[in-house]
Amino acid sequence: MRVVLGVGGGIAAYKSAELVRALQQRGHDVQVVMTRAAREFIQPLTFAALTGRKVITDLFSQSGGEDTLSSAVEHIAVAHENEVLVVAPATADLLARFSHGLADDFLTTLYLAFEGKVVLAPAMNSAMWEHAATKTNLGILQQRGHVIIEPEEGWLACGTLGAGRLPDPVRIAEQVDSITRRKRDLTGESILITAGPTQEALDPVRYISNRSSGKMGYAIAHAAAERGARVVLVSGPVSIPAPHNVEVIHVRTAQEMRKAVFDHLEETSIIIKSAAVADYYMANVPQQKLKKTATRLSLELDPTPDILAEAGQRKGDRLLIGFAAETENLVEEARRKMISKHCDMLVANLVNRDGLGFDADQNEVDIILPSGQAVHAGPADKKDIAERILDQVATLRLHLRAVEKPA
């Protein structure tokens, strides 16, 4: 794979030479781009000798004639020729310039023109790393879908102990490797995912809801987009950022979620229902705030529409993946729900354990396949669980295609 390595101006720039070697040892073809500051720390000649290629240093390095034109558009050519842009060390200054879209040298201009995967390995003094401005810039870059390889703790060049050291070049090369190996097995699919809770009003200020954070559904949406799918995410009220390359439709109630799901049914090939939809709502919400009284308050609630069950009736040849949140008899209950709601697959999770399921970063699930077999996954980060679920979805899709169209 063709990788362009951007070298920023930090003391860790010398490690970039080792990174070139580590990338080459994994079969990558490396083009180096250096900032002006990087050249204060290491000579372009080192990289030219390692890569056997001219090192790009300036936006306008030629003087006069046709060369000026070819140099002026070189960043576009480099952007098109390479599949991954790795910046190591990514200084605080580079993070700020990338996040704000400044384009005053070759590397920042290349970044704006680049359409492939971006991997940033920040390295700096620990106070700069902890600064609110750096954190804000990193947040913006993360939201754009870039991979951030966090710096390590240790003794820094400034003589202090803390976070900010560029990770081992072999570790960075391994991350680049895992990105380039990533599957694109959902290309061509249009996936609709529901996530988060719904809120059902009791009066103008109160509502019934649940502890769903949306993390599970958002992780699936992010992973599905990375694997090449077009993704629509119908999300209840949550406080996490929208994944990159995903269309998010914000809803509040079960009724609104139902409408959003069926408005998009036509263009959808796979539906994944990870949302924790409220089962009951108040049909006649009082116009005024309920008054506090000394006596017991009884609320009359009606069932919300069962979106999953309706999707099971209307799915046609779409794949339908339901979820089940249980506190006992997990697999049995999940199998029952899967059959009664006409799902092709169902993800079951126990939701009465600390640190897993609702509002947690991790989950542990049983994925019930069409045969009824349960495939166990976790405990693991929700992003890993999301990949395991999508592995099963992609396998099922392939299997069904093969059955539909025998060779």
**How many beta carbons lie within 10 A of that of residue 91, not counting itself?**
23
Residue 198 tokens, joined: 């719904």
Residues 319, 270: contact at Cβ < 8 Å? yes
By CB under 6 A, residue 118 contacts ligand PMT = no
Q: Which of 149, 132, 179, 231 is nearest to 1 (CA)?
A: 179
Cβ(216)–Cβ(235) below 8 Å:
no
- Is position 268 an interface residue for ligand PMT (rule: CB under 6 A)? no
Q: Is 308 in the site for ligand PMT (CB under 6 A)?
A: yes
> Which segment (135-143, 162-170, 200-208, 304-312) binds ligand PMT by CB under 6 A?
304-312
Q: How far apart are CA 202 and CA 222, in angstroms?
A: 33
* Residue pair 275/211 in contact by the 8 Å Cβ criterion: no
Please tell me whether residue 273 binds ligand PMT under the rule CB under 6 A: yes
Residue 275 is a binding residue for ligand PMT (CB under 6 A): yes
Number of residues that bind ligand PMT (CB under 6 A): 27
What ranges make up the beta strands (E) of 102-222?
A: 117-122, 147-148, 152-155, 161-165, 190-195, 200-201, 207-208
Give the nearest distance from C-beta 290 to ligand PMT in angstroms: 24
Question: What's at 125, amino acid-wise?
Answer: N
Question: Peptide bond preceding 89: is omega within 30 degrees of 0, i.e. cis?
Answer: yes
Q: Point out which span in 173-181, 262-270, 319-327, 391-399 binds ligand PMT (CB under 6 A).
A: 319-327
Instruction: Give me the catalytic one of 76, 127, 157, 158.
Output: 158
What is the C-alpha to C-alpha distance for residues 79 and 77, in angstroms, rounded to an integer? 5
Residues in 180-209 at the binding interface with ligand PMT, rule: CB under 6 A: 196
Six token digits for residue 372: 């009824």
Is residue 243 involved in binding ligand PMT (CB under 6 A)? no
Q: Does 381 bind ligand PMT (CB under 6 A)?
A: no
Residue 326 phi/psi, 5-degree rounding, is: -125, 160
Closer residue to ligand PMT (CB): 88 or 324? 324
Q: Does the protein bind ligand PMT through residue 390 (CB under 6 A)? A: no
Is residue 343 among the annotated active site residues?
Answer: no
Interface with ligand PMT, residue 213, by CB under 6 A: yes
Q: Which helix (H) or strand (E) holds 397?
A: helix 382-404
- Least distance to ligand PMT, CB of residue 139, Å: 20
| Binding of ligand PMT by 350 (CB under 6 A) | no
Q: What minimum distance in Å lies between the beta carbon of 319 and ligand PMT?
A: 14
Query: In angstroms, rounded to a whole number, what is the distance separating the alpha carbons of residues 406 and 243?
Result: 37
Which span sits near ligand PMT by CB under 6 A: 75-83, 272-280, 290-298, 370-378? 272-280
Q: Which stretch binds ligand PMT (CB under 6 A): 112-120, 135-143, 154-162, 350-358?
A: 350-358
Whichever of 145 and 378 has its CB closer to ligand PMT, that residue is 378
In whole angstroms, the minimum distance from the beta carbon of 37 to ligand PMT comes to 42
Q: How far is CA 266 from CA 59, 192, 202, 261, 274, in A?
A: 48, 11, 33, 10, 20
Residues designated catalytic: 158
Contacting positions for ligand PMT (CB under 6 A): 196, 212-216, 254, 273-277, 279, 304, 306-308, 322-325, 337, 349, 351, 357-359
